[in-house]
Structure 1
Amino acid sequence: MGEMSKALESLKKHQGSWERRPVISFADFLQEVITYPERNIRNVYQIYVDMINAFICEGVDEYINDAESINYLDYNCNRLFVEGSDRPFFADRLFANRLMRHVDSVTVGAQQNKIYIFEGPHGSGKSTFLNNLLRKFEEYTNTTEGARYEVVWKLKGENSHEDNSFTVPCPSHDHPLLIVPKDVRRHFFDDLFENDEFKWKLFTEKKYDWVFHDEPCTICTSIYQGLLRKYGNPEKIMEFVFARPYAIRRRLGEGISVFNPGDRPIRNNVIHNDVIQKNLDQLFAGSQQVTYLYSRYAKTNNGIYALMDIKSHNTERLMELHNIISDGVHKVEDLEERVNSLLFALMNPEDRKVLTDLQAFSDRIEYIKIPYVLDLKTEVEIYREIFGRHIDESFLPRVLHNFARVIIGTRLRTKSEAMLEWIGDPDKYEVFCDRNLQLLKMEIFTGHIPKWLESTDVEGFNAKRRKRIIAESEKDGWQGLSGRDSIRMFNEFYTSFARDDKLIDMSMLIRFFKKYCKEDKEILPMGFLDSLLRMYNYAVLQEVKEALYYYNEEQISRDVQNYMFAVNFDLGSKEKCTYTGEKIEINEDFFRRIETRLLRSEADAPAFRNNVQRAYTTGALTQDILRDGLDITETSLYTHLYERYVHNLKEKVLEPFLRNENFRMAIRDYDTEKFKTYDRKIREDINFMFENLERKYGYSRQGAKEICIYVIENNLAKAFSG
């Protein structure tokens, strides 16, 4: 019994947050308004904007100093759509930017009498998106930061005794400030607020227009007029006006109403309350009666009215919304009812024909597109969420993201006018990209500008081109594998290839998808998988080269400085280098040793040497060093030679090892007793390479071993030697 009592006692601690905020008088409400004006003077549009900004932090611009930036930001939407959700929605970067542009458009002005339609293909997650958005809206509005107040009338009968009083809640959830007569509101607020920043915003910003122009509902207006006839004193009337938190409860249809296509319309859309009506009749007997009558639209006034897919009965509901969207007015028997709600709808592309007969609708609709995910980082996050973050441990680096690239490849249109106008000749990037530039487009969609782009293309990637490419995303993502398809396919792939003794590599991925390409030749553009494999092979080859490369950087610097100095003297002379202090025998052996690392062909050596000598005397020495006082290592000639030296060293770093059978066998025998039998230098080189692969590129020790075997077995160094 003790445990049960303790458990029951804990229930007392739980009360809805809105229950803990009491009904307050109009005077007390005004004090709240003065103390927290921006929080307490908000309509549903401002609440909606504040809610999204509360859950989505400011976007990150990875290229903040880029003069051509188009404000294509990385927004973290997890708090809004993922955290605390039974069915998370993952917003990719493209949709997140689309959503925030929509929010900005709501922010800048009074966006009344519009319907916002979120349009996307089957399986794009529209319903999950809207359900999570509404859940967070309900959660936010029932907190102190997101709370709004609505009007409650506390009226008294003829004998004025407390026990004869009765409460009349505003069925349309009117904001209490709307009870202040419209013709005196400007003067009222001018007296209420001091001349501060908020007062300036209130009187100048478009988003506060509603405060001065909106009228209370017909019922509140009738009560006000009745009391004015009764007492003749507007100040006295305000004693009957109270404010209480507007409690949003979707399940009760209060503040949020959601309709599925199969929900049948209710025959009687008119709501009344006999008890309240009787009290009002008694209070205003002999004068114009107050009719307490309203529709179900009133329940979501200053809230959200949502249609899940425009089909079946929701098509009828959309037609009914036509007058409300056009005029903001709904007829309830003889009464006019103002409806000022956020109107949301979900729509599949094929259902647009429903709107073709309603041309008057066209300027009242704002479409926000939700196509399939086109950002490969987001696609990978979906797999991690559904299958667990441990899946990364089963893949070699890059392979999981390449699975996402293939999925997204099915969703992109093959030809991109914007990409071709920018790049011109796709063949020059055949090592890094496909001929249709889809792999490059995916990088741009993630907000990444690849380092392998030529400098002229980076310079040509101006704001106009960026906007064109991002704008194309509106037409991508309407075909190919849906979200449900990709999850099913990933499950099949993962269960087929995940093993404890071997990581999932690219050969498995290519084999898996080639099977699907045989079944459906239209699923991917011709050559896409070959391009993806080539891009991957080149990237991992560079990683292995970088991991094995450990030439002394100081020695490279001395070689370059000595070479720049020596080209100015005749063969056979001996000179002390001005920059390194080393004595140099200037002969063909000296030049050959350095030029083999600067050049691909020995035949180019004489011309190259003359060019360096001319660049040194006309630029580096006379201008950079003597005129500008730069150190030789700060000159552009030194930088150019140094980079060539390092690049060619890395290109050739694998050559001696690929010819060494013992080196290849030692990699295979790594982590076994047999590895200890190999030459100490080989063991040190392999350990050094594996440690670099782990530290620089995120490989596990097993992954480092497997990727090196992959590079050797596929002879990648030879494949890319040209």
Structure 2
Amino acid sequence: MEMDKKSLGMASDETPAEIAAAFLNQDGARHEKRKPLTFIQFLDLIEKQPARVIRNIFQVFYDMMFSHVKVANSDVPDDSGEVNFTYYDCSKLFVEGSENPYFADRLFANRMMKHMEGLRHGAQQNRIYIFHGPHGCGKSTFLNNLLKRFESYANTEEGMRYEALWRIDVNRLGQPGMTERTSSIDRLVHILERHYPDLIDQTVEDELNHGVDKACLEIPCISHDNPLLIIPKHLRRGMLDKLIRNDEFKWRLFTEKEYEWVFSQEACTVCSSIYQALFERLGSIEEVFNMLYARPYFFSRRMGKGISVFNPGDKPLKNNVITNPMLQTRINNLFRDSNLIHYVYSRFAKTNNGVYALMDIKSHNVERMVELHNIISEAIHKVEDLEENVNSLFLALMNPEDKKNIREFPSFSDRIQYINIPYVLDVETEVKVLTNIFGRHVMDSFLPMVMENFARVMISSRLKEKSDVMLEWIGDPAKYRRYCDANLMLLKMEIYSGAPPQWLQDDDRKALTAKLWRRIIEESNTEGSSGFSGRDSIRIFDQFYSMHAKEDSLITMPELCRFFRNLMKERAGLIPAGFLESLLRMYDYNVLQQVKESLYYYNEDRIALDVKNYISAVNFEIGSTAKCLFTGEVLDITNAYLESIENRLFAANADQQRREIMRIDVLKEYTTNALSVEMMVEGKDITDTRLFNSLHERYVHNLKKRVLEPFLENENFRSAIKDYDTEGFKTYDKRIRSDVEFLINNMMVKFNYTEQGANEVCIYVIDSNLAGKFI
């Protein structure tokens, strides 16, 4: 059945083609915003939004970076000095909407943002920022995504800047010759179309008529200068003082170095010459500025507007000088002086107030790098007899071995700001790289923590095997043998991720001061340049996943270890000796804790009651009867009673002498601090005191430690886990079924296991006797 136009949301007199055209025309509002503004309109925009309009390339790039990067709260300790190890979420900058995402780990993100912070300061035009790192670290992906995001940002209203555009009123200058020339061009085009139709197309006609208007000569600024720079320098401060209201931005504009360019920079030679010529002819600054417009500075990497990127194989042009003979002729006719205004510029002007980037300093890019030497030093480039201002953001990529290409220029070294891009040194980021390549579904084939351990093996090959600062901090690595390797690499990985592990002892946690943390982070500058590359990691993961992914079982930690032991025979020396054993031991310890946590029935009321009674009981003599100060229970104070609680508070094998010492310590802490200070002076309840919390934590810890003991020798418990969610599970004792259901559900809820994964890992814990292994 044919539907009528009204049911389709169409006006009765509109065709589908007209509706489609109207939809396209809705975008016209965006293009309206790109129309040039008169100088008065531009000043009005400055008065309303000065911080957005008065920006150079460095300030816009800074704004782009910090508007696209989120800052999250950090657990990093901070004492008298700042650590400056922030968690930056760079996904909006490098990942979202990208066909080839780049994942920045925490170390690189901090390094990058620290340098980007410097873009707001004064010496940025005297620098070239070189991102250097080994092959396969993602340098090209990083820069391409960064420039793509900047191009997109710079062409939005938030990132938009304005450049000078002259629209010279020909009639106002009284130059009849211009009208005659316009007619001549029209006749030339007509003759060519009639006699040589194959030699002319619309492009040629547009070129011939470029800038030709009987009433207006349009001349764009060759260097994309902010229209404010056309104002004579001695007038800028006074004009802006009257234009901008007194607020924080105005104070920054007039006092901070980042805005020094507003008052010190000159306009380009063409604009300066036009201003001078017009002023001499018209005799009025107002008349001159009536012919000055501000138009949005449009960026396009593909067209080389505002962003120019050169690959090593791109051959330099023979002639770097650009002219426009047609426009130059019109300018000469208008001002009647061929030497007054030279419309000539270089290709550097196309990216002035923009970004100039080199992809690898080799081949032809070495020549380009050398050419930048004087430009970066003086911010000036000679074009024939003219001096051209060049205030661009210079970026480059470099492999370590290419540093030799610029060693011949030692004076260049202080102009280069190196930013290290190593291989990924953060576990979470390495996993993101792999799941981006292979899809997030691959994680469903692994037991929890196993894929993360694959990433740890990759990262171990990229770290220094011995770390003096880590050994200075920890002292004896053997005390963490259950959770860490002898070289403390696993601990360093956690530090690089910004999250000290839970198993870190209190004294070591307190010793991790801001100063020590900074020393550990600084060590990362010398790591990540060797070992498995990003490409190696992808290739090895593909090989491992293809071998071990199955529909009926999940990939386990023992399978991972066997795979890498075989790989070590081919790639000897990349994975540190003993690392795989330590990684497996850490995994075993962690899954054991997960199972214990999932089996533990947490009766808070019973625990709190026992702790309160014990604190009260140690105040009385053995053999006495006393009423607890906190619970009201009547207690028979005997060794047997105290030991029944101490076996959970401390250790079942503690001798009598050690128990006596423990009781004295509890009594002393109660009388000197808990009672006399925290409760009587500070008004705390017993449950809020340091003593209660310490004893409570010990009680819970020891309960969890022994929670598996009733199940280890029970073969029915293991079988029930295996038969979970089958008909055979119903044949087991009700208590066993209840315990198994409690265990499996907690593993799924607390630790993100699937039902199949929870089954497999629980059987692994029991069959491997992990509880006996970590007594």
TM-score bracket relative to the smaller structure: over 0.9
| 8 Å contact kept, 2:154–2:298 | yes
Can you give the 5+ residue segments of structure 1 that lack an aligned partner in the other structure? none
3-state SS of 1:474 partner:
helix
Residue identity matched to 1:680: K
1:37 matched residue in structure 2: 50
- Aligned counterpart in structure 2 of residue 120 of structure 1, from 133, 147, 158: 133
Answering whether residue 737 of structure 2 is matched by residue 683 of structure 1, we say: yes
Task: Report the alpha carbon displacement of residue 529 of structure 1 after superposing the two structures with TM.
Answer: 0.7
Range moving further from structure 2, 409-418 or 284-293: 284-293
1:642 matched residue in structure 2: 696
Range moving further from structure 2, 369-378 or 181-190: 181-190
For 1:196 and 1:567, locate their aligned partners in 2 and report how far apart those are by CA, in whole Å: 66
- Aligned counterpart in structure 2 of residue 49 of structure 1, from 62, 68, 75: 62
1:703 matched residue in structure 2: 757
3-state SS of 1:58 partner:
strand
1:378 matched residue in structure 2: 429
1:482 matched residue in structure 2: 533
Answering whether residue 722 of structure 2 is matched by residue 672 of structure 1, we say: no
Structure-2 change in CA distance of 1:207 and 1:662 (3 Å): same
For 1:266 and 1:473, locate their aligned partners in 2 and report how far apart those are by CA, in whole Å: 41
2:660 matched residue in structure 1: 610
1:251 matched residue in structure 2: 302
Answering whether residue 559 of structure 2 is matched by residue 505 of structure 1, we say: no
Residue identity matched to 1:203: F
Task: Report the alpha carbon displacement of residue 597 of structure 1 after superposing the two structures with TM.
Answer: 2.6
Range moving further from structure 2, 456-465 or 493-502: 493-502
Range moving further from structure 2, 693-702 or 550-559: 550-559
Task: Report the alpha carbon displacement of residue 82 of structure 1 after superposing the two structures with TM.
Answer: 0.9
3-state SS of 1:242 partner:
strand
Task: Report the alpha carbon displacement of residue 555 of structure 1 after superposing the two structures with TM.
Answer: 2.1
2:577 matched residue in structure 1: 526
| 8 Å contact kept, 1:595–1:605 | no
Answering whether residue 600 of structure 2 is matched by residue 549 of structure 1, we say: yes
Answering whether residue 292 of structure 2 is matched by residue 221 of structure 1, we say: no
3-state SS of 1:509 partner:
helix
Residue identity matched to 2:55: R
Using structure 2 for the length normalisation, give the TM-score: 0.89
Structure-2 change in CA distance of 1:654 and 1:67 (3 Å): farther
Task: Report the alpha carbon displacement of residue 442 of structure 1 after superposing the two structures with TM.
Answer: 0.6
- Aligned counterpart in structure 1 of residue 766 of structure 2, from 712, 715, 720: 712
Task: Report the alpha carbon displacement of residue 35 of structure 1 after superposing the two structures with TM.
Answer: 1.2
Any residues of structure 2 matched to 1:282-361 within 5 Å, and which? 282-286=333-337, 288-361=339-412
For 2:339 and 2:280, locate their aligned partners in 1 and report how far apart those are by CA, in whole Å: 10
- Aligned counterpart in structure 1 of residue 644 of structure 2, from 567, 590, 593: 593
Structure-2 change in CA distance of 1:643 and 1:113 (3 Å): closer
| 8 Å contact kept, 2:77–2:514 | no
For 1:234 and 1:444, locate their aligned partners in 2 and report how far apart those are by CA, in whole Å: 62
Structure-2 change in CA distance of 1:479 and 1:18 (3 Å): farther
Structure-2 change in CA distance of 1:499 and 1:16 (3 Å): farther
Task: Report the alpha carbon displacement of residue 285 of structure 1 after superposing the two structures with TM.
Answer: 1.1
Residue identity matched to 2:765: V
Residue identity matched to 1:45: F
| 8 Å contact kept, 2:79–2:514 | no
Structure-2 change in CA distance of 1:285 and 1:710 (3 Å): same
| 8 Å contact kept, 1:17–1:142 | no
Range moving further from structure 2, 2-11 or 277-286: 2-11
For 1:15 and 1:491, locate their aligned partners in 2 and report how far apart those are by CA, in whole Å: 48
Kindly report the root-mean-square deviation, in angstroms, between the aligned alpha carbons of the 2 structures.
2.2
1:263 matched residue in structure 2: 314
Residue identity matched to 2:423: Y
- Aligned counterpart in structure 1 of residue 152 of structure 2, from 127, 139, 142: 139
For 2:169 and 2:637, locate their aligned partners in 1 and report how far apart those are by CA, in whole Å: 111
| 8 Å contact kept, 1:572–1:587 | yes
Range moving further from structure 2, 358-367 or 383-392: 383-392
Any residues of structure 2 matched to 1:555-566 within 5 Å, and which? 555-566=606-617
Answering whether residue 102 of structure 2 is matched by residue 86 of structure 1, we say: no
1:28 matched residue in structure 2: 41
Residue identity matched to 2:745: E
Task: Report the alpha carbon displacement of residue 24 of structure 1 after superposing the two structures with TM.
Answer: 1.6
- Aligned counterpart in structure 2 of residue 655 of structure 1, from 709, 712, 718: 709
2:189 matched residue in structure 1: none
Residue identity matched to 1:103: M
Task: Report the alpha carbon displacement of residue 578 of structure 1 after superposing the two structures with TM.
Answer: 3.8
| 8 Å contact kept, 1:620–1:635 | no
2:218 matched residue in structure 1: 167
| 8 Å contact kept, 1:120–1:347 | yes
Residues 435-469 of structure 1, C-alpha deviation per residue, up to 9 Å, x if partnerless? 11111111011110112112221111111111111
| 8 Å contact kept, 2:648–2:699 | yes
For 1:450 and 1:69, locate their aligned partners in 2 and report how far apart those are by CA, in whole Å: 21
Residues 294-349 of structure 1, C-alpha deviation per residue, up to 9 Å, x if partnerless? 11111000001110000000001101111111111111112211111111110001
Task: Report the alpha carbon displacement of residue 473 of structure 1 after superposing the two structures with TM.
Answer: 1.1
Residues 156-179 of structure 1, C-alpha deviation per residue, up to 9 Å, x if partnerless? 331498724211111111110000
- Aligned counterpart in structure 1 of residue 591 of structure 2, from 537, 540, 554: 540
Residues 82-104 of structure 1, C-alpha deviation per residue, up to 9 Å, x if partnerless? 11111111111111111110111
Task: Report the alpha carbon displacement of residue 700 of structure 1 after superposing the two structures with TM.
Answer: 1.6
Answering whether residue 632 of structure 2 is matched by residue 581 of structure 1, we say: yes
2:6 matched residue in structure 1: none
Task: Report the alpha carbon displacement of residue 186 of structure 1 after superposing the two structures with TM.
Answer: 1.7
| 8 Å contact kept, 2:162–2:295 | yes
| 8 Å contact kept, 1:120–1:370 | yes
For 1:175 and 1:27, locate their aligned partners in 2 and report how far apart those are by CA, in whole Å: 14
Structure-2 change in CA distance of 1:596 and 1:460 (3 Å): closer
Using structure 1 for the length normalisation, give the TM-score: 0.95
3-state SS of 1:116 partner:
strand
1:491 matched residue in structure 2: 542
For 2:216 and 2:98, locate their aligned partners in 1 and report how far apart those are by CA, in whole Å: 44
| 8 Å contact kept, 1:690–1:705 | yes
Residue identity matched to 1:367: Y
Residues 366-413 of structure 1, C-alpha deviation per residue, up to 9 Å, x if partnerless? 111111111111111112222222222222111111111111111111
| 8 Å contact kept, 2:76–2:499 | no
3-state SS of 1:151 partner:
strand
Range moving further from structure 2, 542-551 or 123-132: 542-551
| 8 Å contact kept, 2:53–2:162 | yes
Range moving further from structure 2, 279-288 or 500-509: 279-288
For 2:109 and 2:672, locate their aligned partners in 1 and report how far apart those are by CA, in whole Å: 54
| 8 Å contact kept, 1:218–1:335 | yes
Q: How many pairs align?
A: 720
3-state SS of 1:499 partner:
coil
Task: Report the alpha carbon displacement of residue 135 of structure 1 after superposing the two structures with TM.
Answer: 0.8
Task: Report the alpha carbon displacement of residue 110 of structure 1 after superposing the two structures with TM.
Answer: 4.3
| 8 Å contact kept, 2:79–2:513 | no
Residue identity matched to 1:610: E
| 8 Å contact kept, 2:595–2:747 | yes
Residue identity matched to 2:732: Y
For 1:326 and 1:569, locate their aligned partners in 2 and report how far apart those are by CA, in whole Å: 82
2:187 matched residue in structure 1: none
Work out the percentage of aligned pairs sharing the same amino acid.
Answer: 53
Structure-2 change in CA distance of 1:284 and 1:551 (3 Å): closer
